[in-house]
Structure 1
Amino acid sequence: MKIRIDEIIDQPKLLVFEELAESFPTLQELTDAGECEFLRPIAAELSVWREYDHIRVQGSLATTVRVNCSRCLSGFDSDLRSAFTMIYLKRKQELQDEDEVELGEEDLVSVVYEGDEIDFAPEIAEQVIMELPLKPLCRENCLGLCATCGTDLNAGECGCERGSFNIKFAALKNLKVEK
């Protein structure tokens, strides 16, 4: 997942690799915390070339993860795919003393590198994390769990009475106001 700077030319160079999620410390932390389980290695393709004063990388990645539904808590598999562009800029030794700087498109997708090689691992892990669903759903019409008994309502009714009671106001149910 590394490339030497002197190997990068004006023509795109294709890098293809597959790495286990354990190779990326931040992804291993997600697995250890129980956020998700990686079922396949992370497959990545990167086109790398020199462009003006920077290095441009266009890439894509794919993997499959097992996550838990945020409504019914059942595990399901989800395919993650991402296409991205990164611009690598060499770190400048002197800091420019400017009060206001307007960020351009390149500033929003740029990474600073030092030395004679670039390691793509941190940006690959970042792209995987950005593709993970914030609120995963096993299906769009998932019914979730019964608020009373905890039964999975996708499997069938539980028999509990569900009126128009809003659980958000349960603490106020027995509140009495004296006038």
Structure 2
Amino acid sequence: MKIEIEKVKKKQVDLSEVEPASHFPTLMEMEKAGECSFTAPVTAQVSAVWEYDHVRAAGKVETAVRLTCSRCLAEYQSSVSSEFTIFYTEAKGEELDEEVELSDEELISASYSGDEIDLTPEIAEQVMLEIPYKPLCKESCLGLCPQCGADLNAGECGCDRGGINLKMAALKKIKIEK
């Protein structure tokens, strides 16, 4: 998906694209690493307008993924949706050597050079940001029994999990005098 600068300077440009996840190299890296698998194409709608000296691109990205719960290891489906706004300014070729604090607007800005802006990296980034680091099939997931490995969401396994946590056993010996 590309925005042509000359067209957007004249009027608002609305773009829509449906691409398989294989079109985005960073998403394929996530899939190869086993973080998720994409079960639907990536759908993106973007509206771009020229404002003062920059392009404001606002849009929405959607897809669906299959994830593995980090507690119970069950696979589940999840939809991914992200709305975004990015400000594109023309690259001036200046590089800063010192550290500077960025404003909120600068955190959602990018630079472009040439006659068009390629939105492919930003679309992939929006999808990546919405995939959870530690996915959960549900917020109340009980996980697996640490002794027998049974899925505790299906019911109790009968193991005695009320024993002493060996990581904290040394703290029982500490006596605090008042």
Give the TM-score normalised by the residue count of structure 2.
0.87
How has the CA–CA distance of structure 1 residues 27 and 118 changed in structure 2, closer, same or farther, with 3 Å as cutoff?
same
Give the structure 2 partner of residue 12 of structure 1. Answer: 12
Q: For 1:113-164, what per-residue CA distance to the aligned partner results, in whole angstroms no more than 9, with x for missing partners? A: 1111111010111111111112211112111000011111112222211114
How has the CA–CA distance of structure 1 residues 42 and 147 changed in structure 2, closer, same or farther, with 3 Å as cutoff?
same
Aligned counterparts, 1:17-166, within 5 A: 17-95=17-95, 101-166=100-165
RMSD of aligned residue pairs (Cα, Å): 2.2
Contact preservation (8 Å) 1:36, 1:66: yes
Contact preservation (8 Å) 1:36, 1:67: yes
Percent of aligned positions that are identical: 53
Contact preservation (8 Å) 1:13, 1:47: yes
Query: How many residues are treated as equivalent by the alignment?
Result: 172
The alignment partner of 2:87 has SS state of: strand
- Cα distance in 2 for residues equivalent to 1:117 and 1:3: 5
Contact preservation (8 Å) 2:3, 2:48: no
The amino acid that maps onto 2:116 is: E
Contact preservation (8 Å) 1:10, 1:51: no
Gaps of 5+ in 2: 171-178
Which 4+ stretches in 1 moved above 3 angstroms? Answer: 94-97, 99-102, 167-170
How has the CA–CA distance of structure 1 residues 102 and 32 changed in structure 2, closer, same or farther, with 3 Å as cutoff?
closer
The alignment partner of 2:124 has SS state of: helix
The amino acid that maps onto 1:12 is: Q
Gaps of 5+ in 1: 173-179
